[in-house]
Structure 1
Amino acid sequence: MFGRKGPGLETPVAIRRTALDLLARREHTRLELQRKLLQREAVSDLLEVELDRLEEDGLLSNERFCEAYVHARCQRGYGPQRLCQELRERGVAEYLIDSILRDEAYDWNELARKTFCKRFPEGVAREPRERARQLRFMQYRGFAGYEVD
């Protein structure tokens, strides 16, 4: 068969080994890991069982992924709206997203201010056109509704 990179993941051991290799690189959500293993032609019946086992063993955790992801993206200046969207796309449950993003450890107003000041050291623009550009940047970063004046 063309485009196939070798045998698929047809045994529980092969699925688990590949999953652990992926998890050793970084945290994944269950959905991300499932997609990656299916791309590697994992047998779907066996895949669900192995994903359940990984969760039971504490090796696969959407909560741990969510915490690590939010922390890393905050360091790069991304706000709660953007993070919420990205986490949804990765299959994180809504209650978990809300819980992490409402954590008092994150001062979204302060992060918005720092992100704005880093990108626009000259401060808030006086021209409407330039001010609109600044607002679009902040919305793109996930800070819609946060004032930095």
Structure 2
Amino acid sequence: MSKLHVIFNVVTESWVVRDFCDEHNHELVVPKLARMLRSHKKMTEPDISQMNHMKEVGISMPNIFGSLASQCGGYENVNFSIKDMHNQVAKQRRQLPDDLTSAMAYLETLAARDQNLFYSVEKGREGVFRQIFWCDGRC
């Protein structure tokens, strides 16, 4: 049984390891399945890059995953899942500026140059962009 017993010594004001036993009390993961543990799952930069290129030309995630698996010598050799691929895509989307932020920045740049510019933005529930109206000084 794995066990670690630590106490605080008030005299020396330090932590002291009193007892340590590193015997496991359960079966370890079979080595061929260890790749699916959270600590071992990782998409490498080349994997991400290749996935992005394939996605840009319209290849579906299952087909991309199959292609990457065939390059690795089989599904059992891929260190991530299709869900991990979807999570990576979502992470990349969160890092990009959203359309509303870009549109607002553009309108603010125009407003700095044109004192007669008018714009109005309507957001729906949860701050989701619904509509935008603007007209410049020439209008």
Q: Same fold (TM over 0.5)?
A: no
For the pair shown, which has the larger CA radius of gyration, 1 or 2?
Answer: 2
Greater strand proportion: 2
TM-score, scaled relative to structure 2: 0.30
TM-score, scaled relative to structure 1: 0.29
